[in-house]
């Protein structure tokens, strides 16, 4: 029986090694070749790497069961003979593994947090740079728009600036600058009363004529000085010429005064016409105002004398308001509406009070349920504390018993057995 059991144990070891090897059998690689004309190399990888359940005999199964029990017993012995684990009752290796795993998770979480913070800082920096570039481009755009507005959209470039220009008269061009002004056509007035377009040229000619006159006088005086007493005939001619020139100048002065008088008469006539026109406008305005006042005084609609209804329908442009009977009827309807509104409000208040009472009763019931739940929890905690105290007392008693059980007490009989015999 012992020999058979040893044989089964050996078979069990060989079966375990053959089963838990790299393939189905230790030392055997992937299937190659063909079976019934089929090439195994063409099969999928999942089929080639498959590990079917082995077909073991009863002896091999018994050997495997014995090996499993032996391994379990070895593990149990290691736990039993470990005084620390036996006394404390905690798997120190599992706790150490959990602590290490927790530290690894903490470090990985810390690394992930640092990486996320760095990414957020980089994104924030990039966003700030983008915002600064956007603000810079906006400032450049706004400065460009403002410069363009100041240069091209100022008040001087407006189409109506000539109407608001305070220096328009000073900058303006006269209506006529000469006889050959292209703005004045065949139907235009060729000369205005009082205009003096040739003033500068006339002054220049007058100055030149004055210079010539002074030089001529100097020349005549010099000639008179040279002629001496024999120059009486020339003096007479000079006097005649002077008298003729004075006569011509007097004629020009009289002609100029006549022209100025005509201009004055024309201005007076124009002022009288303007005054008569203004008075006519005032008179027409007074007549129009009088007609409007007469219309207001005699109009039926304005005086509320016209009919406001036609065929039991209101004439909108003649209706000025409701009558006393209509106002009394409207007041009665408003009173009825107010009573209905108060009734609806009272019903709503009653409903709200009923709902509030229901809510309050529900709240009280929930409070009672919550208090009962807290009472039960307190009882459970007290029961749990009592159970823990009982377990603590039992554990202390067991500890005292095991300490007494595993403590070696040497009695006198143990020492008396030595030295009683000889070899």
Asked if 84 and 110 sit in the same domain, the reply is no
Within a domain: 113: yes
Asked if 86 and 106 sit in the same domain, the reply is no
Distances in Å between the alpha carbon of 77 and those of 9, 63, 84, 96, 158? Answer: 21, 21, 14, 21, 108
Asked if 219 and 289 sit in the same domain, the reply is yes
Picking from 62, 55, 3, 61, the residue whose alpha carbon sits closest to that of residue 25 is 55
**Is the entire prediction scored with pTM above 0.75?**
no
Per-residue pLDDT, averaged over 88-106, amounts to 83
pLDDT in tens, 239-281: 888 889 999 999 999 999 999 999 999 999 999 999 999 999 9
Within a domain: 126: yes
Tokens of 85: 């684990």
243, 266, 295 - which closes a domain: 295
Q: CA-to-CA distance for 199 and 287, rounded, in angstroms?
A: 50
Asked if 85 and 111 sit in the same domain, the reply is no
Within a domain: 283: yes
Within a domain: 291: yes
Q: 243, exposed or middle or buried, with CB in 10 Å at 0-12, 13-18, 19+? A: exposed
Cβ burial 82-108 (10 Å sphere, 16+ → b, else e) = eeeeeeeeeeeeeeeeeeeeeeeeeee
295, 323, 342 - which closes a domain: 295
Within a domain: 386: no
Asked if 28 and 11 sit in the same domain, the reply is yes
Within a domain: 131: yes
Asked if 95 and 83 sit in the same domain, the reply is no
Asked if 149 and 224 sit in the same domain, the reply is no
**Rounded to 5 degrees, what angle do the CA atoms 209, 210, 212 make?**
65
Asked if 99 and 67 sit in the same domain, the reply is no
Q: What is the CB neighbour count within 10 angstroms for residue 21?
A: 12
Per-residue pLDDT, averaged over 162-175, amounts to 80
pLDDT at 347 over 90: yes
Q: 162, exposed or middle or buried, with CB in 10 Å at 0-12, 13-18, 19+? A: exposed
Per-residue confidence (pLDDT) for residue 16, from 0 to 100? 40
153, 181, 204 - which closes a domain: 153
Within a domain: 63: yes
Contact yes or no for 98/46 (Cβ under 8 A): no
pLDDT in tens, 232-250: 566 777 788 888 999 999 9
Mean pLDDT of all residues in the chain?
81
What's the total number of domains in the chain?
3
Domain that holds residue 58: 2-90
Per-residue pLDDT, averaged over 68-97, amounts to 78
Please spell the DSSP secondary structure of 116-141, one letter per residue.
HHHHHHHHHHHHHHHHHHHHHHHHHH
Contact yes or no for 8/65 (Cβ under 8 A): no
DSSP 8-state code for residue 178 = S
Helices 58-80 & 2-19 angle (0-180, nearest 10): 90
Within a domain: 309: no
**Reported confidence tier of residue 40, pLDDT bands at 50, 70, 90:** low
Per-residue confidence (pLDDT) for residue 7, from 0 to 100? 40
């Amino acid at each position: 029986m012992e020999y058979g059991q040893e044989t089964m144990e050996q078979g069990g070891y060989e079966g375990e090694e053959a089963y838990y090897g790299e393939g189905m059998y230790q030392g055997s690689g992937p299937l190659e070749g063909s079976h019934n004309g089929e090439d195994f190399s063409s099969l999928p990888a999942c089929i080639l790497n498959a590990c079917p359940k082995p077909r073991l005999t009863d002896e091999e199964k018994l050997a495997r069961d014995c090996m499993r029990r032996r391994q379990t017993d070895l593990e149990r012995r290691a736990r039993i003979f470990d005084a620390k684990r036996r006394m404390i009752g905690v798997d120190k290796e599992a706790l150490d593994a959990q602590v290490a795993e927790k530290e690894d998770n903490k470090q990985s979480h810390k690394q992930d947090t640092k990486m996320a913070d760095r990414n957020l800082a980089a994104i924030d920096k990039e966003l700030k740079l983008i915002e600064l570039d956007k603000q810079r481009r906006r400032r450049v755009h706004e400065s460009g728009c403002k410069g363009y507005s100041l240069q091209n959209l100022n008040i001087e470039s407006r189409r109506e600036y000539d109407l608001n220009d305070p220096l328009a008269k000073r900058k303006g061009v006269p209506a006529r600058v000469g006889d050959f002004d292209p703005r004045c056509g065949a139907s235009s007035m060729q000369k205005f009363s009082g205009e003096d377009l040739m003033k500068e040229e006339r002054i220049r000619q007058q100055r030149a004529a004055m210079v010539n006159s002074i030089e001529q006088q100097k020349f005549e005086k010099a000639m008179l000085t040279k002629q001496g007493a024999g120059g009486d005939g020339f003096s007479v001619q000079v006097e005649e010429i002077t008298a003729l020139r004075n006569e011509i100048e007097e004629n020009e002065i009289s002609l100029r005064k006549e022209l100025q008088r005509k201009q004055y008469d024309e201005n007076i006539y124009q002022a009288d016409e303007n005054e008569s026109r203004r008075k006519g406008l005032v008179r027409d305005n007074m007549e129009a105002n009088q007609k409007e006042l007469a219309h207001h005084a005699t109009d039926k609609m304005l005086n509320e004398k016209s009919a406001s209804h036609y065929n039991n329908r209101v004439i909108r442009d003649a209706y000025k308001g409701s009558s006393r009977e209509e106002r009394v009827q409207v007041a009665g309807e408003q009173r009825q509406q107010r009573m209905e509104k108060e009734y609806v409000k009272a019903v709503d208040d009653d409903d709200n009070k009923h709902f509030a009472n229901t809510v309050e009763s529900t709240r009280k019931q929930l409070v009672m349920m919550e208090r009962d739940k807290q009472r039960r929890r307190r009882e459970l905690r007290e029961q749990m504390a009592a159970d823990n105290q009982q377990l603590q007392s039992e554990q202390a008693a067991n500890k005292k018993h095991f300490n007494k059980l595993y403590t070696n007490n040497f009695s006198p009989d143990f020492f008396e057995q030595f030295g009683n015999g000889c070899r």
